[in-house]
């Protein structure tokens, strides 16, 4: 299956990186739990630019079965 590339505004990439590097204590605790696929094996992304927005939490891949 080919991976679909999600369009994003390149101007937001630098700002998203700034948000990732300046997290609050609560965000640090949450991401320490979410990183490393500790929650049901899902791989989470943080502050990801998607279109003209910065999404705080996204799941990299989810496969749905019927």
- pLDDT tens digits along 27-46: 899 888 888 777 778 888 88
Question: Whole-prediction pTM value?
Answer: 0.65
Q: Is the pLDDT of residue 14 over 90?
A: yes
- Whole-number Å distance between alpha carbons of 58 and 10: 18
- For 49, the 3-state DSSP assignment is strand
């Amino acid at each position: 299956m080919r991976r679909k590339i999600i369009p994003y505004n390149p101007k937001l990439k630098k700002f998203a990186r700034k948000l990732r590097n300046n997290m609050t204590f609560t965000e640090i605790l949450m991401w320490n739990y979410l990183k490393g696929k500790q929650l049901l094996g899902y791989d989470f992304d943080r502050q990801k630019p998607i279109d003209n927005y910065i999404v705080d939490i996204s799941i990299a891949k989810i496969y749905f079965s019927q």
